[in-house]
Amino acid sequence: MRWPFRTSATPGDDEIRREIADHLELEAEDVARCGAGGNAEAAAAARRRFGNATFVAEDVRAVWRPTWIEQLAQDLRHGVRSLRRSPAYAVTATITLAFGIGASTAVFSLGDHVLDRPFPQLPEDELVWIVQRSPHECPTCDNASPAAFTALEERATTLSAVGAAQLWRASLNGHGDAPSDLVNGYRVTPNLFALAAAPFALGKGFPRDAGTPGRDGVVILSYDYWHGRFNGSRGVLDSTIMLDGAPRRVVGVLAKGLAFPEAVDVYTPLVLTAADANNHSSRYLDIFGHLAAGASVPQAQREAARISLQMASESPKSDAGWVLVPRPLNAFHNDDTVTLVRIFAVAVALVLLAACVSAANLSLARTSARRREMALRAALGGRRGRLARHLLTEALLVSLAGSALGVGFAAWGIHAASGIIPPAMARYSPGLAFVRVDGRALAFTLALCITVTLLFALAPVLRATRVPLSAVLAGGGRGSAGDLHGTRLRAVLVVVEVSVAIIVLSAAALLTRSARNMVNGDPGVRLDRVLTMQVSLPRGTSDSSARDFVSRLDAGFRSVPGVLAAGVVSTTPLSNNWWGTIFSVPGRPPRPNGSPLTANDQRITADYFRAMGIRILSGRGITAGDRADTTAQRVAVINHYMASHVWPNADPLGRTITIDSVPWTIVGVVADVHHGGLDEPLRNEIYRAAAQAPSTAMDLDVWTAGDPGAMRESVRLAVASVDPRAAVGDMMTMREMQARHISPFWLIADVVNTFAIIVVLIAVVGLYGVIAYGVAQRRRELAVRMALGASRRDIVSYVAGGAVRLTTVGVAIGAGGALAFARLLEAVLYGVPAGDPATLAMVAALLVTASVAAALIPCWRAARVHPAQSLSE
């Protein structure tokens, strides 16, 4: 039976080969029949006439090759197979890329949220934060006067709505068995949440008229406070709570995670009376505005500048020189966070650079190692495009695996970061809870890493496939010109890796030393066995009641068992709070620049210095005898810093200073306390008797005989027994306070340390790769050297010397970068000079040691080169 002619069925490889072979055979027969010599010559002639049979077969296959998808699948299969044959390369390259992509995406996503989008739940682009500044008097002020608020509200056309907020501290009175609670709150104009389009978890914003006196008995809770204090009960809505002794109806609970303007517990209406609205001179409001449709921030700024000029001409005494500046909402966060993010950004850019360089290096290494294979395949008829595609597919596979892993790293890193960001920082980065892997960052890093991998895979591919077969095969894999070039390029890349490593490593070392210094450093106050808390009396408490409370507290704590000393102070050191006061020295002209003298205003009880271990340097401390009655002298104790700065050449004892037109006599000088932490400069400090300068808000610091943490309840009870209306909050030990203060510094140190480990590993792996490859390539050379009498020692020092040379060049180049990075770190360094030579030397020594370690295995291999064997290979 005759098979029918078939159409369009893909022929197999065998079929194609057979068809071609048949043709050659028939042609040879023809040639032979014409009598042109022997069979062998005839066959050769046939082959000549036919052309390259391998190419033809490949072209025929190409005709039938179905579609690019199948081709791709084939390439992928091939790539996976060949990667599985060299798992070391696949794993190293994948992990390197994953680190680079993961770290940079995570840090960018975090940084973007902290810097650009602190309030992801609000229409941030439409909102502005308006500061009032004076280039001369207060160039960095953030707050504005109520008069400025009124002026903006009445005159600004670029703003569709203007709202204001004022931070305050209140006590939430106990209900049932629950004790009084000290809460942080914002007083906000009733329209603020509406203008910010703030979402609510429960209820809604304030009624329109909540800003008028008598109608302000309402309160909004933050989500966290609602959960903490009211267990998230929906029944809290419309219930009444007592804040500072006044009843307030709960009208709403803000949505989860929304911390606008900052993370606080409660929000109450801000009541601005007509008198307030006319207040030009005290600037205490945070003002927010909603841009009118079509208005831009620069337009709002121009208009605000015009309004400022009008205000200045209307009331020159208070407003001349002051300018209202609407700023994007993302300006509403503190500078420390910006510095942190900037440091992270530089560190992570370096990690990304190291990862890319390393990926390039690995790509190069892989192609160099496969030059023989490539040359052979090219000679056997492999088309250049096809070979290049194989290698590219391989590189692409590695890139994709690295990218996938990197995305995982990024997601995990962001998750971990929101867990370890200290609360003190999180307060200024309310958007933190909403950080997700940023698409743009991911796209950028992916594109960068993949491009680099492919580029460096491709360049040598083109060269490798162009290298003549004879050169590669005859050279036994040894240095042809192109190969040498590849080795040199790899050496350059390794030098870059080492330079990056030293930059990041030295930054990590500086930050770690600085953080350690801060833990071990002496801030000038007792840190062990001290319990600290905030205490607040209800609003409206008279001066005499406050005075009475403080003296009874002082007396009461002397008899609490386990308490060695307890003192009241306005703000506890390291608490990140301080009260500024302006003072003057009678008979002394104002300073040339016109700025007043300021000091930290501390109102204390007699035992405060003893409780906190603050030494009295001269004169006396505050005593119980410093009373409020008219016969008693108004006295003040100052710190050493103030004594030596205000009276550089004289004894301050017995001199007077004036605060609010009242003279205070200096009776003592005490040792300096780093109130703002060791990282902050010293400031003037004035200690006065709480009896003579009473206040309703204070801190209480208790020095205990045993573990201060165990004293929480008895201390709380002791305060309640003095006055049950006194609210206690933020109770923690001084060590906890210190840890809270230092945690951001540890955070940077930890992150940069992690980065340092990554880049050092990358550098060591890169170095190992280059040295090992060099040894493999130069087996013959080493063998010749050994045959000519070089000892193993010589060989080892020859190979290790190469590693040390590369590292030294890298260290030398990186040192400059390290110094530049250190300058950026200066802002957060304590007790370590930014350009610390000891740190740099230590880090350099570490890297050189690591590089020698990386060279060990190749050295060992080099030493085992057998001259006779290698030369006869």
Chain residues binding other proteins by CB under 8 A are: 2-8, 11, 15-16, 18-20, 22-23, 26-27, 30, 49-53, 55-56, 59-60, 62-64
C-beta of 45 vs 504, nearer to other proteins: 45
- The least distance separating other proteins from the CB of residue 44, rounded to whole angstroms, comes to 14
C-beta of 8 vs 649, nearer to other proteins: 8
- The least distance separating other proteins from the CB of residue 468, rounded to whole angstroms, comes to 23
Burial degree of 208 (CB within 10 A; 0-12, 13-18, 19+):
exposed
Q: What angle do CA 53, 54, 60 make, to 5 degrees?
A: 85
Burial degree of 231 (CB within 10 A; 0-12, 13-18, 19+):
exposed
Residue 819 CA to residue 346 CA, distance in Å, equals 13
C-beta of 2 vs 317, nearer to other proteins: 2
Residue 241 CA to residue 15 CA, distance in Å, equals 91
Token pair listed for 169: 């501290």
Please answer whether residues 671 and 641 qualify as being in contact, where contact means their C-beta atoms are separated by less than 8 angstroms.
no
C-beta of 39 vs 544, nearer to other proteins: 39
C-beta of 25 vs 314, nearer to other proteins: 25
- The least distance separating other proteins from the CB of residue 4, rounded to whole angstroms, comes to 7
C-beta of 64 vs 860, nearer to other proteins: 64
Angstrom distances, CA of residue 642 to CA of 609, 686, 687, 735, 824: 17, 8, 11, 27, 30
Please answer whether residues 163 and 287 qualify as being in contact, where contact means their C-beta atoms are separated by less than 8 angstroms.
yes
- The least distance separating other proteins from the CB of residue 42, rounded to whole angstroms, comes to 14
Please answer whether residues 504 and 820 qualify as being in contact, where contact means their C-beta atoms are separated by less than 8 angstroms.
no
Measured from the Cβ of residue 201, the count of other Cβ atoms closer than 10 Å reads: 18
- The least distance separating other proteins from the CB of residue 374, rounded to whole angstroms, comes to 25
Residue type, 471: A
C-beta of 22 vs 314, nearer to other proteins: 22
- The least distance separating other proteins from the CB of residue 38, rounded to whole angstroms, comes to 20
CB within 8 Å of 578: residues ≥ 6 apart:
571, 600, 675, 676, 683
- The least distance separating other proteins from the CB of residue 74, rounded to whole angstroms, comes to 18
C-beta of 64 vs 284, nearer to other proteins: 64
Query: Which strand (E) or helix (H) includes residue 166?
Result: strand 159-172
Residue 219 CA to residue 467 CA, distance in Å, equals 80
C-beta of 23 vs 384, nearer to other proteins: 23
Please answer whether residues 711 and 702 qualify as being in contact, where contact means their C-beta atoms are separated by less than 8 angstroms.
yes
Residue type, 283: R
C-beta of 39 vs 451, nearer to other proteins: 39
- The least distance separating other proteins from the CB of residue 804, rounded to whole angstroms, comes to 57
C-beta of 11 vs 245, nearer to other proteins: 11
Residue type, 864: R
Query: Which strand (E) or helix (H) includes residue 187?
Result: strand 181-188
- The least distance separating other proteins from the CB of residue 49, rounded to whole angstroms, comes to 5
The three-state secondary structure class of 676 is coil
Residue 347 CA to residue 341 CA, distance in Å, equals 10
Please answer whether residues 659 and 686 qualify as being in contact, where contact means their C-beta atoms are separated by less than 8 angstroms.
yes
- The least distance separating other proteins from the CB of residue 817, rounded to whole angstroms, comes to 57
- The least distance separating other proteins from the CB of residue 70, rounded to whole angstroms, comes to 15
- The least distance separating other proteins from the CB of residue 57, rounded to whole angstroms, comes to 8
C-beta of 15 vs 116, nearer to other proteins: 15
- The least distance separating other proteins from the CB of residue 47, rounded to whole angstroms, comes to 10
Region of residue 53 (left: phi > 0; alpha: psi -120 to 50; beta: else): alpha
- The least distance separating other proteins from the CB of residue 34, rounded to whole angstroms, comes to 10
Q: Which residue has the tokens 């025929």?
A: 60
Please answer whether residues 702 and 531 qualify as being in contact, where contact means their C-beta atoms are separated by less than 8 angstroms.
yes
- The least distance separating other proteins from the CB of residue 3, rounded to whole angstroms, comes to 5
Bridging pattern class, strands 563-569 and 635-639: unpaired
Encode 584-593: b = buried (16+ Cβ within 10 Å), e = exposed. Answer: eeeeeeeeee
Q: Which residue has the tokens 């496969």?
A: 370
C-beta of 49 vs 136, nearer to other proteins: 49
- Exposure of 633 in the CB half-sphere (CA atoms within 13 A): 13
Burial degree of 36 (CB within 10 A; 0-12, 13-18, 19+):
exposed
CB within 8 Å of 590: residues ≥ 6 apart:
584, 596
C-beta of 27 vs 672, nearer to other proteins: 27
Strands (E), 558-684: 563-569, 580-583, 597-604, 616-619, 635-639, 656-659, 662-670
CB within 8 Å of 85: residues ≥ 6 apart:
none
C-beta of 46 vs 507, nearer to other proteins: 46
